[in-house]
Amino acid sequence: MFSKAAEYGIRAVIYVWGQSNKGLKMGVKDICKEIDAPEFFTAKVLQSLARLNIISSAKGPNGGFYIDEEQEEIKLIDLVVAIDGDGIFRGCALGLKQCSETNPCPIHKDFKAIRDDLTHLLQTRTIRELAQDVDKGLATLVR
């Protein structure tokens, strides 16, 4: 479904959000230890997210990644598109290049419905909600 980069990225951002809410900035090493993800690979994902202004970063001692006030309402779809692009929403399930409403593959309509549900889900759910679930112990990011 998602790429490894997106999986790590989403988990990392959820964790960072939670810590940032407590006023903490988190280094890559700590983040990856917490969510059990490869360090250097995940670092690149977070850095590209910071470059896109989806999350923030600070260098130097007591630096790290954090969530700015203006970034508090990040939605899942923002992360997915930033990391994996919009291929999940565009491609044909059977790999046809010219698959569309007017020239559909045999399962075009069925998959459009499922894909619309997925899109709606990603557009609706915020990182805030997910981080709060983790904070309440209703969900986990590791193991």
Instruction: State the residues that interact with DNA by CB under 7 A.
Output: 3-5, 8, 26-29, 38-41, 43-44, 46-47, 50-51, 57-65
- DSSP-assigned letter for residue 100: S
**Closest distance between its own copies and the C-beta of residue 138, in Å?**
8
CA distance 34 to 132: 16
Its sign, for the CA torsion 60, 14, 79, 73, is negative
57 contacts which partner out of DNA, its own copies, none, CB within 5 to 8 A by kind?
Answer: DNA
Distance from C-alpha of 107 to C-alpha of 126, rounded to nearest angstrom:
31
Q: Cβ closer to DNA: 30 or 133?
A: 30
Q: How far is the CB of 137 from DNA (least distance, A)?
A: 26
Distance CA 143, CA 29 (A): 17
Smallest distance, its own copies to C-beta of residue 28, A: 18
DSSP state of 30: H
Q: Return the number of the residue (10 or 54) whose C-beta is nearest its own copies.
A: 10
- What is the contact surface with its own copies in residues (CB under 8 A)? 1-2, 4, 7-8, 10-11, 14, 76, 88, 91, 93-98, 103-108, 110-111, 113-114, 117-118, 121, 125, 129-131, 133-134, 138-143
Radius of gyration of the chain (CA): 17
Q: What is the rounded CA–CA span in Å between residue 15 and residue 87? A: 26
Cβ atoms 35, 109 nearer than 8 A: no
43 binds, among DNA, its own copies, none (CB under 5 to 8 A by kind): DNA
The listed partner (DNA, its own copies, none) that binds 40, CB under 5 to 8 Å by sort, is DNA
